[in-house]
Amino acid sequence: MTLPSRKGGIYITQPTLPPMAEFIPYLEKIWDSKWLTNCGPFHQQFEQALCEHLGVERLALFTNGTLALVTALQALRISGEVITTPYSFVATAHSLLWNGIKPVFVDIDPQTLNLDPDKIEAAITPQTTAIMPVHCYGHPCAVDRIQRIADNYGLRVIYDAAHAFGVEDEGGSVLRHGDLSILSFHATKVFNTFEGGAIVCPDKKTKERIDHLKNFGFVDEVTVVAPGINGKMSEFNAALGMLQLKGIDAAIQKRKLIDARYREGLSDTKGIYMLSSVTEKVANYAYFPILVRPDYTLSRDALFQKLQQNGIFARRYFFPLISDFPMYRGLPSAASANLPEATQVAREVICLPIYPDLPDEQVDLVVNLIRG
């Protein structure tokens, strides 16, 4: 069997790319216009197209999701302490450190793997200014409960929605929640522009401030109003995004079928726990995590090695916890005793390969290796 990847194995994800022939006309337009960056025609078209697709009124494009996180905190003038999750990619907490903000880690709900709203209030101090939850694996947080806590204590809410492209709850896009939501369009995401990101903005004034911050603080050629950064998305990435949008619905449907095939194949495998089937109104099937419990025949790491030895390059995602890395583990909130659920999940999790072009027989190969 020939397995698809640059190294001859099955990886957790493969970038979804359009045929090169379809991209050439976009490249020709960029070359003809001589406008390569600085919010050119494709940048403007892509912002509008994304708003329409995602069901939001305004967003600001960025060169990547990490700079979008950093800028979102700047835009809301967040300082002091921010409550966040240890169970995420390191960019979530790194964005706080880059702004001189102290992360305060709170444990996760073991059913959703999102920030546990029952644990938030105990972590609030006079220095707390915001909450930064993550829609982990694209599954929405307990947004209403988090917002009530924020309102009671006068806190801002910034959602790391890197996994949540296109996800909707009963009221519409999950990106409408909180003060700001941040997306990533990295190559490994459900929707990608090679590299890219965005901030969903609630009003015109906020978008204007964010647009200034992502372009060095420039208002016009001679006026700088803020210590901004260079976070602009290039025309090349924006054009790729316009093309990618044409196929995103079909790609998500393929992911849905793969998700269902995994669930059927692993449903009666003792010791393998799968997160609840989709609870959101519209899901994106961004990841397929399993938890390897003690009653499985192998330890999590032994199963991980077995998969790798058979050309299945799954990931222990997220392991280690952010709170276990050297720049964070000295924080009182980073202690394992403070994060028992996150610590346990990090020891059990494996994310299995899922991407639109993953053939059924290779899904079955993964399933059969796990079933033993």
pLDDT score for 35 = 86
pLDDT band at 339; cut points 50, 70, 90: very high
What structural domains and CATH numbers belong to the chain? Answer: 20-245 (3.40.640.10), 248-371 (3.90.1150.10)
Q: How far apart are CA 321 and CA 86, in angstroms?
A: 6
| Residues 371 and 267: beta-carbon distance below 8 Å | no
Please state the pTM of the whole predicted model.
0.94
Contact 77, 101 (CB under 8 A): no
> Which is more confidently placed, 250 or 34?
250
Rounded average pLDDT over 251-261: 97
Q: How would you class 222 by CB atoms within 10 Å of its CB: exposed for 0-12, middle for 13-18, buried for 19 or more?
A: exposed
Q: How far apart are the first and last CA of the chain?
A: 19
Note the pLDDT tens digit of each residue in 118-174. Answer: 999 999 999 999 999 999 999 999 999 999 999 999 999 999 999 999 999 999 999
- What are the C-alpha distances in Å from 103 to residues 98, 129, 323, 328? 11, 11, 9, 8
